[in-house]
Amino acid sequence: MTFHDFARAHGLIIRDLILHRWVSTPTEDHPRKRNGRYKYLGNVGWVQNWATMESPTMWKDSAAAPVDYRKVFAESEKKREQDAKKAADKAAWILGKVEKKPHAYLAAKGFPELQANVWTVDGKSLLVLPMRIGGNLAGVQLITEDGEKKFLYGQRTQGASLTMDAKGIPIFCEGMATALSVRQAMRLVKVRYRIECCFSAGNLKTISGRFPDGLIVADNDKSETGLRCARDTGKPYWISSAVGDDFNDYHIREGIRAAADSLYPIVLDAISRASSAETSPQSAAPVRA
């Protein structure tokens, strides 16, 4: 199997193969985003699809000469740490440039008056979402007015999240629009919450695994990635019955009261499990709205 075939098997779309560094690339599930990455050294390489993989997986050319993989990994990790430090520094610099004001992307998602971090650069208005690991800034997600999303080159995204209102039952979701809709729903039903915006389905498992309780609000991807990741957490979860929907889509289509009503039984289930300390992957039960 060639490296191109290996990458394609994991959902990555590689147009121009670049050597000797990590390269972000679109995926079949998210062709407009750079939701995958690869590193290719000629006779060995790694790929990672953020939506489905918690860590990179390795390819090697079976016909090539033996490779000292420990040395390759050590050099790769050193470069990765250097890139991550630069990305974190750049993220801090960007956050120092933002203004608090409305953004077109949030308006399209039902929040036209929300004041958010907006960075204007080269005539473009970018929504800036800080991403933290253990309280430390790791990078940012940048969202254009038409919804294109990207991360900074080299930043650590695995294990990074954005926390909102850490005062109650943990709720884990992928994107910011979903997080905002969940927050509005929780305020409507008057239940205290902690929302973790995880930025990818794969990250849902990583972030939610740090908490003994909580619930998942999953995207209903055509690939069923969101559903699989939600089930894998062992936590109760909400997912729409409509393929392609997330909680924000449901909120916009059905209204916030209907969205809140559909989420409330899952919230009560999560609270009940937390109080009784009974969690089991086999007991995870979805509600399809």
3-state secondary structure 238-287: EECCCCCCCHHHHHHHHCHHHHHHHHHHHHHHHHHHHHHCCCCHHHCCEE
Binned at pLDDT 50, 70 and 90, residue 69 comes out as: low
Rounded distance, CA 249 to CA 145, Å?
17
Q: Which of 125, 123, 127, 159 lies closest to 140 in space, CA to CA?
A: 127
pLDDT at 93: 98
CA distances for 285 relative to 189, 266, 270, angstroms: 21, 8, 10
3-state secondary structure of 94: helix
Q: Is the pLDDT of residue 282 over 70?
A: no
pLDDT per position as a tens digit, 18-57? 888 888 899 988 888 888 999 998 888 999 998 888 789 9
Mean pLDDT, residues 204-211 taken together: 94
Full set of structural domains in the chain with CATH = 3-67 (no CATH), 161-288 (3.40.50)
CA distances for 253 relative to 3, 160, 181, 286, angstroms: 42, 30, 12, 20
- DSSP lists the bridge partners of residue 36 as 25, 49
Mean pLDDT, residues 247-255 taken together: 97
b/e code 192-226 from CB counts within 10 Å (16+ = b): ebbbbbbbbbbbbbbbbeeeebbbbbbbbbebebb
Mean pLDDT, residues 222-242 taken together: 93
pTM of the shown model: 0.76
pLDDT at 17: 86
What secondary structure letter does DSSP report for 26?
A: -
Q: Which of 37-46, 166-175, 240-249 has the lowest mean pLDDT?
A: 37-46
Binned at pLDDT 50, 70 and 90, residue 285 comes out as: very low
b/e code 229-240 from CB counts within 10 Å (16+ = b): bbbbbbbbbbbb
pLDDT per position as a tens digit, 86-141? 999 999 999 999 999 999 999 999 999 999 999 999 999 999 999 999 999 999 99
Per the model's pLDDT, the better-predicted residue between 21 and 203 turns out to be: 203
Rounded distance, CA 19 to CA 209, Å?
34
Strands laid side by side in the 44-49 sheet: 23-25, 36-40, 44-49, 57-60
Mean pLDDT, residues 195-204 taken together: 94
Strand 169-173 vs strand 215-217: parallel, antiparallel, or unpaired? Answer: parallel
The pLDDT mean for the chain works out to 91
Angle at 73 between CA 152 and CA 46, to 5 degrees: 60
